[in-house]
């Protein structure tokens, strides 16, 4: 992925969503040829020259200071996640650029995390880079899809959401899930634009999904730490589950996602039925494969 085009489109889409009135500016008389703020208005709000901001938006970030990036982030009203994404794209220091050029180390699921999965009585999934599914407990696989039986490259939530028709019926709010999925991938792309597996994934999704192409062009980013999923499971029907994302201490790009129902709710009852079904079939089924994804 080309970082110059990434930062250009990210800044362009961010300023397009803010009007001069919202930014506290008096709009110039006459028709406006752009949505939202002009580049010179962003420069004014950030306290930098117009030429400087134009160079930044064109991806010419060499030597840009953190203070300038902070000023631009404030001018565009970026939230914390968007600000971090801007810094990732701009790569303000030589040290940061050097770190990003190093090959990605393989992600390994620690034995203690596997034991944690087995001990949980609710669905749980270990998620890695690019929204890869590294592991899950039996209830986690039963809730979404049997990722363990799929080829390694297909054990990925983004591929599931956009390329598997089962996802359309599983997610009651598929449109929101699709937006969140793309926003999560965008955030990862800011940190690892040179990841060849990411490039392959984006190319595949863009080729086969019009919705993905449209959402990818929005350049939205979002970090997921907690939320709610509404599902329509083919075996047990409707489920409303809260989820929490817990980062692994030894790998910040690996997380444990745990799904829980409201106590004594219909969702808790349905999840209990699914757990019983999972237990009854586990004796006849092989244990889920516990080999991590191939080296990244």
Separation of alpha carbons 83 and 75, rounded Å:
11
Burial per residue of 207-216, b for 16 or more beta-carbon CB atoms within 10 angstroms, e otherwise: eebeebeebb
Strand 251-261 and strand 226-233: pairing? unpaired
The whole-number pLDDT of residue 295 equals: 43
The whole-number pLDDT of residue 155 equals: 94
Check whether 82 has a pLDDT greater than 70: yes
Check whether 100 has a pLDDT greater than 70: no
Mean pLDDT of 84-107: 70
> Model confidence at 23, in pLDDT bands (50, 70, 90)?
confident
Check whether 193 has a pLDDT greater than 50: yes
259 alpha carbon, distance to own chain's centre? 18
Check whether 287 has a pLDDT greater than 60: no
> Model confidence at 173, in pLDDT bands (50, 70, 90)?
very high
What's the pTM value of the predicted model, to 2 decimals? 0.87
Mean pLDDT of 70-86: 95
Check whether 99 has a pLDDT greater than 60: no
Separation of alpha carbons 52 and 139, rounded Å:
53
Mean pLDDT of 2-19: 91
Please say whether the beta carbons of 126 and 134 come within 8 A. Answer: yes
The whole-number pLDDT of residue 60 equals: 87
Q: What domains are defined for the chain?
A: 3-101 (1.10.260.40), 111-282 (3.30.450.180)
Angle 184-189-195 (CA atoms, 0-180°, nearest 5)? 130
Separation of alpha carbons 242 and 124, rounded Å:
12
* Average model confidence (pLDDT) across the chain: 88
Please say whether the beta carbons of 187 and 223 come within 8 A. Answer: yes
Helix (H, G, I), strand (E, B) or coil at 154: helix
Mean pLDDT of 60-78: 91
Residue 170's CB: how many other CB atoms inside 10 A? 21
Query: Positive or negative, the Cα torsion across 207, 211, 214, 220?
Result: negative
End-to-end alpha carbon distance in the chain? 17
The whole-number pLDDT of residue 280 equals: 66
The whole-number pLDDT of residue 7 equals: 92
Helices (H), the chain: 3-16, 39-46, 50-57, 66-75, 80-90, 94-101, 111-119, 138-143, 157-163, 165-170, 174-191, 196-208, 210-216, 266-282
**Any residues with CB less than 8 A from the CB of 214 and at least 6 apart, and which?**
none
Please say whether the beta carbons of 259 and 123 come within 8 A. Answer: yes
Check whether 136 has a pLDDT greater than 90: yes
Per-state percent for the chain, helix, strand, coil, to nearest 5: 50, 15, 35
> Model confidence at 296, in pLDDT bands (50, 70, 90)?
very low
Check whether 223 has a pLDDT greater than 80: yes
Q: Using the 8-state DSSP alphabet, how is residue 257 labeled?
A: E
Bridge partners of 237, per DSSP, are 233
pLDDT digits over 231-246, tens only? 999 999 999 999 999 9
Check whether 230 has a pLDDT greater than 90: yes
Separation of alpha carbons 13 and 35, rounded Å:
9
Helices (H), 102-164: 111-119, 138-143, 157-163
> Model confidence at 115, in pLDDT bands (50, 70, 90)?
very high
pLDDT digits over 238-279, tens only? 999 999 999 887 788 899 999 999 999 999 999 999 999 888
> Model confidence at 95, in pLDDT bands (50, 70, 90)?
very low
Q: Report the run of H or E that residue 38 belongs to, with start and end.
A: none
């Amino acid at each position: 992925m080309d970082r110059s085009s990434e930062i250009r489109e990210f800044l362009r889409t961010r300023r397009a969503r803010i009007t001069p009135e919202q930014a506290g500016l008096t709009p110039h008389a006459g028709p406006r040829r752009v949505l939202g703020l002009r580049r010179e208005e962003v420069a004014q709000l950030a306290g930098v020259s117009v030429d400087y901001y134009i160079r930044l938006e064109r991806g010419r970030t060499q030597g840009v200071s953190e203070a300038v990036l902070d000023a631009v982030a404030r001018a565009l009203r970026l939230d914390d996640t968007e600000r971090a994404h801007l810094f990732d794209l701009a790569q303000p220091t030589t040290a940061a650029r050097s770190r990003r050029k190093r090959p990605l180390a393989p992600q390994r699921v620690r034995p203690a995390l596997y034991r944690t999965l087995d001990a949980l009585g609710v669905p749980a999934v270990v998620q890695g880079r690019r929204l890869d599914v590294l592991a899950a407990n039996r209830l986690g696989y039963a809730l979404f899809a049997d990722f363990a039986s799929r080829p390694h490259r297909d054990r990925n939530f983004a591929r599931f959401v956009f390329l598997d028709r089962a996802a359309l019926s599983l997610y009651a709010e598929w449109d929101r899930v699709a937006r969140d999925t793309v926003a999560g991938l965008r955030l990862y792309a800011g940190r690892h634009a040179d990841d060849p597996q990411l490039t392959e994934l984006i190319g595949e999704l863009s080729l086969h999904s019009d919705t993905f192409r449209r959402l990818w062009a929005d350049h939205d980013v979002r970090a997921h730490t907690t939320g709610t999923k509404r599902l329509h499971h083919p075996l047990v029907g409707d489920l409303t589950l809260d989820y929490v994302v817990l980062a692994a201490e030894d790998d910040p790009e690996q997380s444990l996602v745990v799904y829980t129902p409201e106590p004594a709710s219909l969702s808790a009852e349905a999840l209990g039925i699914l757990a019983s079904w999972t237990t009854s079939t586990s004796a006849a089924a092989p244990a889920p494969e516990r080999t991590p994804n191939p080296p990244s």
